[in-house]
Amino acid sequence: MNTNSLMRINVPKIVHETIDGETIILNLDIGNYYSLVGVGAEIWSFIENNATIGYIIKEISNNYQGDREEIESAINNFILELNQEGIVIFNNENSQQNDESAHVQDQIKLKENKSIFEVPLLNKYSDMQDLLLLDPIHDVDDQQGWPTINPEKSLENK
């Protein structure tokens, strides 16, 4: 993986939407569902805007408190996982553009106050048959909503 590598979202089989700080992703061919929040969702917004890995690492490091090497490693692992899940594809060509071009900067809002960096996680849900049967009002955790099961309900089932 080259920091100048271009990558793109694997359309049309991957569809996604970001709502209220969370990115939800679906692989239409397999049916796997994914969720990204926090740093993961922020990285996604960079990917959507065709940023290179190097640029993402640089911007996240600027926006968050943490060891630069740890941040770089976590981001690389995260993007690799996205690639392994078939969500993101690397292009063979490297970016010849200067990532600091105005259009990329304009599209991505930089944070004023630095938060502590948290390792980005790709939450994957592959057992969708059971999740689709849940009552999304009564069977789910009322702080998370679907697809998080109500812990009391899952204890009952055991």
Partner 1 sequence: MHLDKKIPYTSKEQKLLLQAALLDKEHSINAWQQWKKIVDLEGHHDSGSYSLFPLLYKNLQRYGVNDPFMKRLKGIYRLEWYKNQRLFYDMSKAIQYLNVTGIQVITLNCLALIALYYKNFAVRPLADLGILVPTSQALLTIGLLKKAGWIQTTNLVNDSLCYQHAIQFKDQSGKELDLHWHLLFESCQEDPDRDFWDGAVPIKINEVSTYALNPTDNLLYIIVQGVRLNTEPPIRWIADAMSIINSTNSEIDWPRLIIQAKKSRLIIPVKEALNYLYENFQAPIPKSNLKNMNQLSISCTESLEYRIMTRNPETISNTLLNTLLGRFPLYLVEYLRLTNDTGFLRKIIGLPKYLQFRTNAKGLHVLCISFISRSIITVKQLLSRLGTNISE
Binding site for partner 1 (CB under 8 A): 12, 15, 17, 19-20, 24, 26, 28, 31, 33, 35, 128, 132, 136-138, 140, 142-148
Contact 5, 88 (CB under 8 A): no
Contact 86, 10 (CB under 8 A): yes
CB of 137 to partner 1, least distance (A): 6
Q: Which residue has the tokens 């998080």?
A: 148
**Residue 80 or 89 having the CB closest to partner 1:** 89
In sequence order, the 6+-apart residues with CB closer than 8 A to the CB of 71 are 57, 60, 61, 64, 117
- Other CB atoms within 10 Å distance of the CB of residue 108: 17
| Distance in angstroms (rounded) separating the CA atoms of residues 92 and 77 | 19
**Residue 100 or 145 having the CB closest to partner 1:** 145
| Distance in angstroms (rounded) separating the CA atoms of residues 33 and 25 | 6
CB of 20 to partner 1, least distance (A): 6
**Residue 17 or 156 having the CB closest to partner 1:** 17
CB of 26 to partner 1, least distance (A): 5
CB of 87 to partner 1, least distance (A): 14
**Residue 1 or 132 having the CB closest to partner 1:** 132
